[in-house]
Amino acid sequence: MSSPAIRRIAVMTSGGDAPGMNAAIRAITRTALGHGLEVLGFYRGYEGILNRDYTMLDYGSVSNIVQRGGTILRSARSREFRTEAGRRKAAGNLEALDVDALMVIGGDGSLHGASLLGRVWEGQIIGLPGTIDNDVYGTDHTIGYFTALDTAMDAIDKVRDTAEAFERIFLVEVMGRQAGFIALGVAIAGGAEFLLLPDEPVDLGDLADGILESRRRGKLSCLVIVAEGAVEAGIPSLDGRSRIRDTATLAKELEGRLGFGCRAVILGHIQRGGRPAAPDRILASTLGTYAVEVALEGVTGVMVGMHAHKPGTVSLDEAWSSSRSLDDYELKVQRTLL
């Protein structure tokens, strides 16, 4: 598809922030400026379009941010944009601001929003997968995942020290919504003994037996990685009468059965912050550069992603509506190395 020339592009970050978003903003801005385009940055995702809250970006505005976590454009989840009327208002604002192409950096929800905007706005829309959850279809990894994994791994290494000293069991809850990518990755990287994943039934009696067996084999400490999606869905209590929906209660329930110390650690939002790890900076820089090149070719309605170290595109609709499953071989590795 060849394009009418584009003159002005806009960039925004939306939904849960992810380390590396700044590197993507920088890459988009500098690539676009290099092609003689103007670059506008909307604040707070779709809210910024609805409120015409933006800034013009130049080389200087994106200096010294490749190494910073968070997002200089801030992020938000917009209620108004979820309505048809909100999206029409956003389209009107984009037209009034002479935006020819919009770059949306975010996860599933933000990409879905981008696809819906494409039905009411004629400009070009390109998505970039930015979320720590790594659950976006059409890319091998999402911007932010590697850093979140490092942060979680660093935390569980520390938990291991105290677990070992006190010969305790620790349940460590990690983020990831309904996806278990962070949980599986950190279980392998941190050598966790057990892993509770979303969509996999958990039998607490079996887990308690497994922990006792690992004690018999001489393990002093035991780490159980709990994907937040696993516990939010509810895990049947030991007597089967209720469902446990939080990791602290899960730890108490296990302690009651085992008779020795079980503690819960909920890593929470620290997984979203911090200096982006090198793989996130490289991924974000590559996808940001590629997104502008794709826009210059006149392409619209796609998300850029990485496959086997090469950038490519997938339709926005496919990106938000298809799901990615965990890698079977990684699951096997985790179970083999307990």
State yes or no: residue 176 binds ligand F6P (CB under 6 A): yes
**Which residues, at least 6 apart from 252, have a Cβ–Cβ distance to it below 8 Å?**
262
CB of 94 to ligand F6P, least distance (A): 25
Strand partners, 196: 226
CB of 87 to ligand F6P, least distance (A): 21
State yes or no: residue 74 binds ligand F6P (CB under 6 A): no
Burial of 46 (0-12, 13-18, 19+ CB in 10 A): buried
Residues 80-109 that bind ligand F6P (CB under 6 A): 107
- The smaller minimum CB distance to ligand F6P, of residues 107 and 190, is found at 107
CB of 204 to ligand F6P, least distance (A): 23
Burial of 92 (0-12, 13-18, 19+ CB in 10 A): middle
Q: Which stretch, 174-182, 184-192, 273-281, 309-317, contacts ligand F6P (CB under 6 A)?
A: 174-182
State yes or no: residue 198 binds ligand F6P (CB under 6 A): no
**Which residues, at least 6 apart from 101, have a Cβ–Cβ distance to it below 8 Å?**
6, 9, 10, 123, 124, 125, 126, 295, 300
Instruction: State the catalytic residues.
Output: 133
Write the binding mask 132 to 171 for ligand F6P: x where contact by CB under 6 A, - elsewhere: xx--------------------------------------
Which position's Cβ is nearest ligand F6P? Answer: 16
CB of 16 to ligand F6P, least distance (A): 3
State yes or no: residue 131 binds ligand F6P (CB under 6 A): yes
- The smaller minimum CB distance to ligand F6P, of residues 208 and 264, is found at 264
Q: Which stretch, 22-30, 172-180, 238-246, 287-295, contacts ligand F6P (CB under 6 A)?
A: 172-180
Provide the CA 220 distance to its chain's centre, in angstroms: 33
State yes or no: residue 47 binds ligand F6P (CB under 6 A): no
CB of 196 to ligand F6P, least distance (A): 15
d(CA 138, CA 324): 8
Q: Which of 11, 13, 14, 16 binds ligand F6P (CB under 6 A)?
A: 16
Please report, as ranges, the residues that interact with ligand F6P according to CB under 6 A: 16, 107, 131-133, 175-177, 228, 272
